[in-house]
Chain A
């Protein structure tokens, strides 16, 4: 089980994750950040399941989902960094 949190310009992003055989088994992105439309976070979590733990792949998936959203006080890189940090078990 990996956990990491990142303080963005506005809001804290927390990621809890589990991996199995080098792939993402579970992932949960929580915190007091603001993203619009909100449900893009659940779509992102769903799309990350089963993905190989590879920074490039993860960056692509996060960017695919969050580039169509409006982030208030956080960046796509904030989300990429904290997800990868969690998967590294840091």
Chain B
């Protein structure tokens, strides 16, 4: 009997731990320590940059300091995003077996990405997928998504704008002129929007329920259960936090996962303990 586990585990004041837990979730799934898991979390005030990005190229660092926001590199590619409590983050880690007949990356961006789209459509939003991985409502982007297949699991996550401070978002993120010209707009705030601006009669709880139902149906789970992180997930997250995500070297210097050799050994030890 296949089950979807749902966790609402967050540390909004400590974005470093929140993002460390993202990698821990993918690792835990890859080591078969958990069932397929859907997670929701928020950060209070943070900029999350993509794995390949240079902080100074993407972020207005003076403004970041002024608003006292954290800067954290995530383990996946894609662009920089601003997180406050008006932004709901979702992630799902599922078994590699799901992509038996299709490449893992194609599976993620053709199937797993339907989770948020179907969820928003079920709430009455006119939701579309655009430009490979952007989730768009009424022609405005409401969610960016990213993924990794690095840890023997399929890991997909996204950030959804519900009621984010758009002034802060557009002030803290630097957007290349080339991208703005490509999108035909003059500023990032003219191509993104908050879902609550489109419909303020829905709640965060409605959105979470819609996501859970959407993934239950999409991936044909027999059941859904709500849970909390297990001991090994927390151990993994603590390790990743201590050795990688809390470090300036990781967040600012753009180093690869493979640079953290000792961490890799420690993670393997946790995975292999039975």
Contact = CB atoms under 8 A, between A and B. Distances in A.
A42 B254 CA distance: 10
What are the 10 closest A-B residue pairs judged by CB atoms, nearest first? A32-B79, A34-B77, A42-B256, A7-B178, A70-B105, A30-B54, A10-B132, A73-B132, A39-B256, A36-B105
Given A5-B176, A36-B149, A72 B51 contact: no
Interface residues of B, number: 32
A22 interface: no
Interface string A13-31: 0100000000000001111
A12 B257 contact: no
Contacts of B258: 39, 42
B52 A31 contact: yes
Contact of B133 (A12, A36, A41, A72): A72
Given A32-B52, A35-B77, A7 B105 contact: no
A34 B78 contact: yes
Contact of A30 (B57, B148, B150): B57
Q: Majority SS of interface residues in chain A?
A: strand
Given A7-B179, A12-B176, A34 B57 contact: no
Contacts of B54: 14, 28, 30
B133 A32 contact: no
B80 interface: yes
Contacts of A5: 176, 178
Given A31-B52, A32-B80, A38-B77, 5 more contacts: A9-B131, A11-B78, A34-B76, A39-B257, A42-B258
Nearest to A41: B52
Interface string B47-87: 00011111001100000000000000000111110000000
Given A38-B148, A72-B109, A7 B79 contact: no
B4 interface: no
Interface string B231-274: 00000000000000000000000101110000000000000000
A36 B132 contact: no
A42 B150 CA distance: 15
29 contacts: A7-B176, A7-B179, A9-B132, A10-B131, A10-B132, A10-B133, A14-B57, A28-B254, A30-B52, A31-B53, A32-B53, A32-B77, A32-B80, A33-B52, A34-B76, A34-B77, A34-B146, A35-B77, A36-B104, A36-B105, A38-B52, A38-B77, A38-B256, A39-B150, A39-B256, A41-B52, A72-B109, A72-B132, A73-B131
Contacts of B50: 32
Residue among A7, A31, A32, A72 with the highest chain B CB neighbour number at 10 A: A32
